[in-house]
Amino acid sequence: MISHKAGEHAAIALTLDGAPVVEQAPPRMLLSDFLRQACGKTEVHVGCEHGVCGACTVRVDGRPVRSCLMFAVQVAGHRVETVASLGTRDDLSMLQRQFHEHHALQCGFCTPGILSSAQAFLEEHTDPTEREVVEMLSGHLCRCTGYRAIIDAVLACARERREGIS
Amino acid sequence: MKPARFDYYLPSTLEEALAKLSELGSEGKVLAGGQSLVPMLNMRIAQPAALIDINGLVELDAVACENGALRVGATVRQSTLERSDAALGQVPLLAQALPLIGHWQTRNRGTLCGSLAHADPSAELPLLLAVLDGSVEVHSSRGARTIAARDLFVSFFTTSLEADELIVAAYVPVAPARRCYAFDEVAQRHGDFALVSVACAAEFDEQGALAYLTLALGGASEVPLVVETADALGRHADRELIAALAERASVACDPPSDHHASAAFRRQLVRTLTGRMLTALLRREEAAAT
Amino acid sequence: MIESPARTRPRRWIGEAVPRKEDPALLTGAGRFIDDLDPFPNTHHAAILRSPHAHARILSIDSTRALVLEGVKAVLTGARVAEISQPFHAGITEPVHFYPIAVEKVRYVGEPVAVVVAKDRYIAEDALELIDVEYERLEPVVEIDRALADDSLPLHENVGSNVVHERSFTYGEVDAAFAAAEEIVEATFRFPKYASTPIETYGVIAQYQRGTDTYAIHANFQGPFVLHTLLASALRVPGNRLRILVPPDIGGSFGIKALLYPYMGLIALASKESGVPVKWIEDRLEHLCASSSLTDRLTNVQAAVLRDGTILALRLDHVDNVGAYVRAPEPACLYRMHGTSTGAYRIPALAIHNRLVTTNKLPTGLNRGYGGQEHYFALERTMAIVAKRLHLDRLDVVRRNLVRADEFPYHAPAGSVLDSGDYHTALDEALRLAGYQELLATRDRARARGRSAGIGLACVVEPSGSSMGYITIALPLEQRKRSLPKSGAAEAVTIALDPSGAITVRLGTAPQGQGHQTVTAQIVAEELGVALESIEVVAEVDTQTSPWTIASGTYSSRFAPIAAVAVQQAARKVAMKLRTIAAQECNVPVDDIDLAEGLAIPRGDRSKAIPIKRLAGLAHWNPLALPSGMEPGVYETAYYSVPILEAPDDQDRVNSSAVYGFVVDICLLDVDRETGKIEIQRYVSVHDTGRMLNPLLAEGQIRGGFAHGLGGALMEEMVYDENGALLSGTFVDYLCPTAAEIPPLVIGHVDTPSPFTPLGAKGIGEGNSMSVPVTIANAVADALGVDDITLPLTPRRVWELTQR
Ligand SMILES: Cc1cc2nc3c(=O)[nH]c(=O)nc-3n(C[C@@H](O)[C@H](O)[C@H](O)COP(=O)(O)OP(=O)(O)OC[C@H]3O[C@@H](n4cnc5c(N)ncnc54)[C@H](O)[C@@H]3O)c2cc1C
Ligand code: FES
Ligand code: FES
C-alpha cells in the first residue's frame, strides 16, 4: 500500500502532455494546483474549485475530468493532458482553428477546459448532434460568449474531421 | 479554498483497504470518484484525518451479470456504465438516469457506489437503486453483508454503513421481459441535482391491467421514498387511478424547503411528475399493444 | 512597377469580420492571467478570514495561535488598517466610512476581518482556523423595506440612518401633466441582486517597496479610471507612488472587477505590514459572498397618460440598495440612467426621487448593464401595464411614444442627448424577424390548447461611453459648485514605430475579452495602410508608463465610442508624420502621398513609393534629414474626449453618455404552470450599434450580453435569509446559465452611425443585459395574466405566480 503522511511531500511521476515528469507535492495538493504551480502548466485554469465551472478540466488517461477534484498524488503513474497537448500558436489544431474562426472565445479563461473536453468528445463522437454537443458543454461555464459560437465551432470541427477522413 | 491536511493511503488490495478502514474508523474517509467528497474537503466542510483512495483496487473496477443483477464494482465510473451497451440493455433505467447526473466530466470520475454511499436524497442513483429494489455488497475486516436499498438509506447523507465498511459493489436487478421504466425530474439547469425526481417500474398484463408497479421519489424526503402501490395492481391505469397515485405520492413525501423550492412546490412537482410519467408509460404501453 | 495614375487606397479593415489577434495565445493556454504571473521574488500568499455574521460588533480578535503556525508571516486586522490608511471616498455627502476590512463592526457575511500572510495558500487557510474572533451580534437589516423603517438599526452609526442619500429632481411641467392626465397608471417593482461572476476571480499581487515608499500592484483590474486616485489617497501616497499594473489577459469582468480596488488596497497594506510581496487569488466562495454585484432596487412608477396611450409624464421613486457600504463609483448605479430616464420615449416631463439605503448585504458596484436592467425593468413593465390598463395594443402604445427618426438628436428632459436612431424602423425589423403575426397566432393556438403562452417586448436605449460627470449629479448643486465641473470621458492611445518600422500600439483600456487588440489593429492597419498582422497591440496597463486619463478602463462599453476614436486619431498623427517625411523625400505635396501596402506612395508615381519602415528608420537614424521642425522618432499619443459630453448644468441635467444605441427585443415563451418551467420559443433582438467595427465581435458581445440577461431573468440571484446569511454562496446554489439553458437568438440590425464621434460606433455589449430580464418578465406577465412579477423567474417563483 502506498501511503503519504500529511506533512510529507510525495514524489509524483506522471506523463504530462506526452513527456515524463517527476514533481513533489503534499497529499492535500489539488491536481489543479500541482499542474499550475509544480509543473508550470498555467494552461490549466481554476474558476471554482468545487467542480462546477469546468475551467480546470484536463484529460486523465484520455478522459476529461475536473483537476480541482483530484489530488496530485492520484495521478502518479497516469497520463495527464492539458490544452498544451493540442496545437501550437503557429500550428493550431483543427479544433482550435474552428474556435478562432467562429469567435468561440472572448476572455479565453474557460477555453482550455472546454477544448480539453471537446477534443475528447470529438474523438468519441464522429457525427455528434447539436444536443450531444450541448450536453458535453453543459459541464463548462462560459460567461462571455453565450455558448452559440462554441457549439458551432465544435460541430464544424466534427464536420471537418469527417470530411478529412472520407 | 484548500483542503485541510490529511494522510493519504492507496491500498492495492481489498484486504489492505479494509484493514486500513478498520484501523482508522471514523478518522478515515473513502475516496472514490471524489466528485462529492473533494468539494467538501476543499470547502473544509469535511476534515478527515486520512483518505483511503480505493481507485487502486482494480478488482473493483468490474461490471458483471450475476444472479439476475448487474454487479457494479465500487470503482466503476458512471460514464463507463453509460458507455456500456450491455449494462444499459440489462438495466434500461440506467440509460435514463445516468445522463441526468452532473456532467460528462463529473461522470468520468464519479462512481455509482460512491453516489449510493453519499446518500444525497436528491441524487439519481439512490433513487434508481430504490425503485429497482437493488442492494449493495458491503465488506469490512469483520466480514461481508448485503444491504437492500430500503435499509441502506437512513437519512439525509446518512447510510446504515459502519465507519469501517466499504461498499464493494452494487447489485442492480436486470429488467424482466415485460417491465417498462421511466425516470423524470425537474432540475433548475441541465445537470443540476433535481428539485424532485420520480422513477417507476411497471408491467401491464395482456388485458392492459397493471401487473407490477413500483414508484419512487427523489428529493422529496430524507431518503429515496418508495410509494405504496400494491392496491393498484390488477387495475387499469386510467386517468382516475393515475390521479390518485399522483396525489398519494404528493402526500406520502415529506419534502424539504430551501431557497430553490418550498416544500409545497416540491409536493406539487411530485404530483405533476408522477401523473405525467404514469400517463406517458400508459400511452407507450397502448402504442405498443396496437 | 506598375504606373497607376489614380490614388492607391488602403485596404478597408474597419467593419470587417476579422477573427481575433488575441486568440492564438488564449487557444493554446498561453494567455497571461493574473495568477500566471510571478513578478516578485519571495512572494507570500494571503487568505482572508471573513465574517460569518451579517451584522455584529467585533469584541476581540486573537491571532496568537495563527502567528505561531509554521509558515505564517503576519496577520493584519481592521484596527491596524484604520491606523495606516484612510477610508475610501465615495460621491455622497453622508460620512459612510468604508475600509477594505471590517473596523470595529462587520456589516455583511463575508466581510474581511483578518488577512493572513503565509508561505502558501494552504498554510494561510490553516491559519484562518486558528484566529479567534469574538462577536456581539446585532440586528441584521436585510431588505430594503426594513432599511427604510425609522427604527431599523443603522449600519453606520455616525450617519444615524440606513437612508444614506436622498435627492429629488423635476424636469418639465410634471404637476401640470399629471393634472391633464386622463389616467394615472401606478405600479411598484422589485429588482433582485445578482452579479456577472466572471470565471476568473479577483487576483492581486502587491509589493510595498520600502526604499521608495511606493506600492506596485498587479491586479486583474479593469481600471485605472477614477479608482486609482481613490486608492492612492486611501493608501496615503501621491498617485505617482501607486503603480497599478494590469496583466495582459483578464478572465472576464463585466464590471465586477472594477470593485477589486478595496482588495488591492488591503493586499498592498498586507505587503507593507508583512514586509514581503503578497499574492491573493480570490476563491469562488469569496467571490460570491464578497466581491460585488449590482443593486437590488425598489421602484415606484406613476405615469400620467392619455387614453390613446400618450405618456405625458413620469414620476419615478427609486430606492437602491447598495449593501453594507457605499463604494465608489456608487451611487452611480442610481445615476447612470438618470439622463436617459425616459428611455426610448418622447416623454416631456419627469420627476425623480432617489434614495440609497444600506443593508447587511454584499456592497455593490458596476455590473454589465449597470443601472439599466433595474431601470428598464420598471419602465418597460410600466409600458406593458399602461397598454393593458388602457386596453390598447402594446405596439400602438410603444409606437406612439417612441422618439421619431426626425427628432434626433433628441434632447431628453433629464439631459441625455440621444445622438441618432430610427427606433420605429428597428421595431418593425424586430417584428419582421419575429414573424409577429405568426407569433400571435402561435400564442393563441397554444392558449386554446390550455397552455400558458406569452409574448414580451422591450425597447431600451443603450448608453455607452460614460462621462465621469454624471456621478456628480448625486451631489446638490451648491456642493457640486465647490469643486471642478466634471465631464471626463477621455481615452488615450500611443502608437510607436521602432527603427525597423515595427508598429506597437499601447492602450489604456484593460480589456477582458472584448477584442480591443483586434479592433485597434484593424483601425491602425486601415489608417496606415499596413498589414494587420504587423501590428502589436499592448493592452496591459501600467499607470506609470501607459497613457491614461481619469476615465481610462473598460466599462460602460466605452471602447467603441471613445477609445477606438483615440486609436484612429493617434494613427492619423502617425500617418501625417510618415506622409510628411515621404512628401519631402519625393518632393511632392503631402496631400499627394497615400499610405497603402506598407508603402508611402506618391500619387501617380508608384515607382517612387517608399516603404514605411524606411521612413520610420529615417526618423530614428537620421533626424537631421527630417523636414525642418519635425521631432525625431515616431511616437504619437492621442487623447480623445467626446465634445458632446458636458458637466451637469445648474438644472441638474446631464448627458451621461457619449452615444446611445438601441435594442428592441421580442420573445414568445411557454410556461408550464405545473412545473414552473419556462420554455423560450422565439427570441429576436434588433440592435442599433452605430457603425459596426467588427461584426464577428459585435455578435459575440450581443450573445454574451444576452446570456447575462437570461441568467438575470431566469436563475441568478444572491439570496439572503432573514438573518442576512447568504444562501447562494457556491456555484451549486448561485446558478449561471449553461449551454443547455440558452435558447436560439435571432439578431437583427438597424444601425445609425453616431454623428457625434468620428467613427460613429456605439457600444453593444450591455443592451441585452438590460433588455432581456424585462422582456421575459413581460412575456410571463402576458402568459399568466399577472402583473406582479419578480425576478428571477425560477420554477418556484413561476409556480407561485400561478397560485395567485
Ligand atoms: C458539478 C457536479 C454536479 C453534480 N451533479 C449531480 C447530480 O445531478 N446528481 C447526482 O446524483 N450527483 C451529482 N454530483 C455528484 C456525483 O457526481 C458524485 O459522483 C456522487 O455523488 C459521488 O460519487 P463519487 O464516486 O464521486 O464519490 P466520492 O465523492 O468519492 O465519495 C462520496 C462519499 O461516499 C463515500 N464513499 C465513496 N465510495 C464509497 C464506497 N465504495 N464505500 C463506502 N463509502 C464510499 C465517501 O467516503 C464520501 O463520503 C455532481 C457533482 C458535481 C461535481
Ligand atoms: S475549477 Fe474545477 S470545476 Fe471549476
Ligand atoms: S470566454 Fe470568457 S468565460 Fe468563456
Q: What is the CATH number of the domain that holds B29?
A: 3.30.43.10
Mean pLDDT for all residues in chain A = 97
Mean pLDDT for all residues in chain C = 95
Q: Pairing between strand B28-31 and B50-53?
A: parallel
C-alpha to C-alpha distance for A146 and B92, rounded to whole angstroms: 34
Q: Residue C709: enclosing H or E segment and its boundaries?
A: helix C695-714
Q: What is the CATH number of the domain that holds B231?
A: 3.30.390.50
Q: Chain B contact for A79, CB < 8 A?
A: no
C-alpha to C-alpha distance for C477 and C652, rounded to whole angstroms: 8
Q: Which of B5, B43, B186 sits opposite C677 (nearest CB)?
A: B186
- Checking if the pLDDT of C7 tops 70, the result is no
Q: Which of C284, C719, C795 sits opposite B188 (nearest CB)?
A: C795
CA of A148 from ligand 3 middle (Å) equals 12
- Residue C543 carries which side chain, given as an amino acid letter? T
Contact at CB, C699 and A103, closer than 8 angstroms = yes
Q: Which of A66, A71, A42 is nearest to A56 (CA)?
A: A66
Give me the half-sphere count of Cα atoms (radius 13 Å) on the Cβ side of residue C117: 25
Mutation target for A interface from C18, C20, C21, C23: give the one with most A CBs within 10 A.
C23
* B2 in any annotated domain: no
- Interval C81-124: pLDDT, tens: 999 999 998 888 888 899 999 999 999 999 999 999 999 999 99
- Interval A103-130: pLDDT, tens: 999 999 999 999 999 999 999 999 999 9
Our mutation pick for probing the ligand 2 site, out of A30, A31, A44, A52, counting the most ligand atoms within 8 A of Cβ, is A52
Q: Which of C125, C721, C741 sits opposite B189 (nearest CB)?
A: C741
Which of B173, B195, B210 corresponds to the end of one domain?
B173
Contact at CB, B2 and A28, closer than 8 angstroms = yes
Q: Chain A contact for B55, CB < 8 A?
A: yes
Q: Chain C contact for B279, CB < 8 A?
A: no
Contact at CB, C795 and B5, closer than 8 angstroms = no
Q: Chain C contact for B43, CB < 8 A?
A: yes
Q: Are C385 and C377 in contact (CB under 8 A)?
A: no
User: What is the number of the ligand closest to the CA of B121?
Assistant: 1
Does residue B121 sit in the same domain as residue B216? no
Contact at CB, A27 and B6, closer than 8 angstroms = yes
* Containing structural domain, residue B239: 180-289
Contact at CB, B6 and A6, closer than 8 angstroms = yes
Our mutation pick for probing the ligand 1 site, out of B20, B27, B30, counting the most ligand atoms within 8 A of Cβ, is B30
- Interval C209-230: pLDDT, tens: 999 999 999 999 987 777 899 9
* B47 in any annotated domain: yes
Mutation target for C interface from A58, A144, A145: give the one with most C CBs within 10 A.
A144
- Checking if the pLDDT of B159 tops 60, the result is yes
Which of B173, B203, B235 corresponds to the end of one domain?
B173
pLDDT > 90 fraction of chain A, expressed in percent and rounded: 98
The residue contributing the CA closest to ligand 1 atom 27 is B114
Say which residue, B133 or C480, is predicted with more confidence: B133
- Checking if the pLDDT of C5 tops 70, the result is no
What average pLDDT does range C303-307 have in this prediction? 98
C-alpha to C-alpha distance for C691 and C761, rounded to whole angstroms: 4
Does residue B244 sit in the same domain as residue B189? yes
CA of A59 from ligand 2 middle (Å) equals 14
Does residue B31 sit in the same domain as residue B114? no
Say whether the ipTM exceeds 0.95. Answer: yes
Q: What atom in ligand 2 is closest to the CA of residue A54?
A: 3
Q: Are C801 and C780 in contact (CB under 8 A)?
A: yes
Please list every residue in chain A whose beta carbon sits closer than 8 Å to the beta carbon of residue B7: 3-6, 27
Does residue B119 sit in the same domain as residue B193? no
pLDDT of residue C27: 98
- Interval B164-206: pLDDT, tens: 999 999 999 999 999 999 999 999 999 899 999 999 999 999 8
- Interval C557-604: pLDDT, tens: 788 888 999 999 999 999 999 999 999 999 999 999 999 999 999 998
Q: Pairing between strand C203-209 and C278-281?
A: antiparallel
Does residue B220 sit in the same domain as residue B251? yes
- Checking if the pLDDT of C730 tops 90, the result is yes
C585 three-class SS: helix
Task: Measure C734 CA to nearest chain A CA, in Å.
Answer: 11
Does residue B165 sit in the same domain as residue B79? yes
- Checking if the pLDDT of C334 tops 90, the result is yes
What average pLDDT does range B32-39 have in this prediction? 98
DSSP strand E in C480-588: where? 491-497, 503-507, 535-538
C-alpha to C-alpha distance for C139 and C141, rounded to whole angstroms: 6
Task: Measure B203 CA to nearest chain A CA, in Å.
Answer: 31
| Least reliable range by pLDDT among A69-73, C643-647, C763-767 | C643-647
Does residue B118 sit in the same domain as residue B209? no
Chain A residue closest to B47 (CA)?
A28
Does residue B282 sit in the same domain as residue B244? yes
Task: Measure B52 CA to nearest chain A CA, in Å.
Answer: 9
* B120 in any annotated domain: yes
pLDDT of residue C555: 72
Does residue B266 sit in the same domain as residue B285? yes
Give the count of beta carbons closer than 10 Å to the beta carbon of residue C441: 11
Contact at CB, B38 and A70, closer than 8 angstroms = yes
Q: Residue C540: enclosing H or E segment and its boundaries?
A: none
- Checking if the pLDDT of B289 tops 80, the result is no
- Interval C615-641: pLDDT, tens: 999 999 999 999 999 999 999 999 998
Contact at CB, A108 and C251, closer than 8 angstroms = yes
Give the count of beta carbons closer than 10 Å to the beta carbon of residue B45: 8
Mutation target for C interface from A9, A37, A107, A138: give the one with most C CBs within 10 A.
A107
Task: Measure A1 CA to nearest chain B CA, in Å.
Answer: 4
What nine digits make up the cell of C39? 513578478
- Checking if the pLDDT of C515 tops 80, the result is yes
- Checking if the pLDDT of C2 tops 50, the result is no
Contact at CB, B262 and C740, closer than 8 angstroms = no
pLDDT of residue B286: 83
Does residue B12 sit in the same domain as residue B77? no
* B24 in any annotated domain: yes
Give the count of beta carbons closer than 10 Å to the beta carbon of residue C17: 13
Which of B143, B173, B203 corresponds to the end of one domain?
B173
CB of A114 within 6 A of ligand 2: the answer is: no
- Checking if the pLDDT of C666 tops 50, the result is yes
- Checking if the pLDDT of C1 tops 70, the result is no
* B1 in any annotated domain: no
- Checking if the pLDDT of B115 tops 60, the result is yes
CB of A147 within 6 A of ligand 3: the answer is: no
Contact at CB, C28 and A88, closer than 8 angstroms = yes
SS (H, E, C) chain B: CCCCCCEEEECCCHHHHHHHHHHHHHHEEEECCCCCHHHHHHCCCCCCCEEEEHHHCHHHCCEEEECCEEEEECCCEHHHHHHCHHHHHHCHHHHHHHHHCCCHHHHCCCEHHHHHHHCCCCCHHHHHHHHHCCEEEEEECCEEEEEEHHHHEEECCEECCCCCCEEEEEEEECCCCCCEEEEEEECCCCCCCCCEEEEEEEEECCCCEEEEEEEEEECCCCCCEEECCHHHCCCECCHHHHHHHHHHHHHHCCCCCCCCCCHHHHHHHHHHHHHHHHHHHHHHHHHHHC
The residue contributing the CA closest to ligand 1 atom 6 is B102
Q: What atom in ligand 1 is closest to the CA of residue B194?
A: 8
Does residue B48 sit in the same domain as residue B76? no
pLDDT of residue C6: 60
Give the count of beta carbons closer than 10 Å to the beta carbon of residue A15: 15
Mutation target for B interface from C675, C710, C734, C797: give the one with most B CBs within 10 A.
C675
Chain C interface residues facing chain B, Cβ-Cβ under 8 Å?
121-122, 125-126, 129, 283-285, 674-677, 715, 719, 721, 727-728, 730, 732-733, 735, 737-738, 740-741, 794-796, 799-800
C-alpha to C-alpha distance for C754 and C252, rounded to whole angstroms: 28
CA of C579 from ligand 1 middle (Å) equals 68
Does residue B149 sit in the same domain as residue B191? no
CA of C614 from ligand 3 middle (Å) equals 41
Q: Which domains are present in chain C?
A: 23-30+490-641 (3.30.365.10), 41-391 (3.90.1170.50), 402-466+659-804 (3.30.365.10)
Task: Measure B100 CA to nearest chain A CA, in Å.
Answer: 10
pLDDT > 70 fraction of chain C, expressed in percent and rounded: 99
Task: Report how many domains make up chain B.
Answer: 3
Phi, psi of C543 (to 5 degrees): -65, -15
CA of C793 from ligand 1 middle (Å) equals 30
CA of A60 from ligand 3 middle (Å) equals 23
